[in-house]
């Protein structure tokens, strides 16, 4: 039995293992490549939120109050004035001395930490379109009709010179 070129089955045998008799059917599975795209998630970058303390010099003006002693002298020339010809002058140890306590505001600085701002960090997903191009291969199926006589007839080498046809081959020109 003769085998076909590149096939491991006899000529005239269909791919399903059957011969080409009437009523037999044959099928071929056609395959093609499909593009698959995966979306693995990878670490793009790391972000660290860091707080640091910055010292700055601040200058403010505050008003401080204090008490001062004010002495008011009134002239004794008025109608209420009595002449005191016999009044002695004090010797510096008089009982008329007063002691007055004067007060002043004092500036006391202190610092306190108060919340002034809340910083919130979040992420969001940004989408972008990416064009992907690839070559895909696919199988094509074609039905070729082969005459049974040509397939069963053994191939005979031609001895005729090139350019001439043999009389027993179908390509031979018909004679007059």
* 56-104 confidence digits (pLDDT tens): 999 999 999 999 999 888 777 766 666 666 666 666 565 667 789 999 9
On average, the pLDDT of the chain sits at 76
Determine the Cα–Cα distance for residues 122 and 5; give it in Å rounded to an integer: 68
Report how far apart, in Å, the C-alpha atoms of 157 and of each of 2, 160, 164, 166 are: 17, 9, 14, 11
pLDDT band at 24, cuts 50/70/90? confident
Average confidence (pLDDT) over 123-151:
85
* pLDDT score recorded for residue 74: 78
Q: Is 13 helix (H, G, I), strand (E, B) or coil?
A: strand
Kindly tell me if the per-residue pLDDT of 116 is higher than 90. Answer: yes
Spatial contact of 121 and 49, defined as CB atoms under 8 Å apart: yes
Cβ atoms 5, 11 nearer than 8 A: no
Torsion of CA 168, 169, 174, 176, to 10 degrees: -20
Over the stretch 118-129, which tens digit does the pLDDT of each residue have? 999 899 999 999
């Amino acid at each position: 039995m003769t085998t076909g070129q590149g096939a491991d089955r006899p000529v005239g045998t269909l791919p399903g293992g059957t011969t080409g008799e009437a009523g037999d059917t044959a099928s071929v599975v056609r395959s093609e490549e499909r593009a698959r795209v995966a979306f693995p998630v990878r670490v793009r970058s790391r972000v660290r939120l860091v707080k640091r303390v910055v010292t700055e010099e601040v200058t403010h003006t505050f008003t401080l109050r204090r008490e001062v002693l004010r002495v008011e002298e009134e002239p004794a020339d008025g109608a209420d004035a009595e002449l005191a010809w016999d009044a002695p002058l004090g010797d510096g140890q008089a009982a008329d001395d007063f002691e007055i306590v004067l007060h002043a505001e004092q500036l006391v600085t202190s610092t306190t930490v108060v919340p002034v701002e809340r910083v919130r960090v979040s992420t969001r997903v940004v989408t972008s379109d990416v064009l992907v191009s690839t070559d895909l291969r696919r199988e094509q199926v074609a039905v070729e009709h082969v005459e049974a006589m040509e397939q069963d007839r053994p191939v005979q080498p031609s001895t005729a010179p090139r350019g001439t046809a043999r009389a027993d081959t179908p390509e031979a020109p018909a004679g007059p």
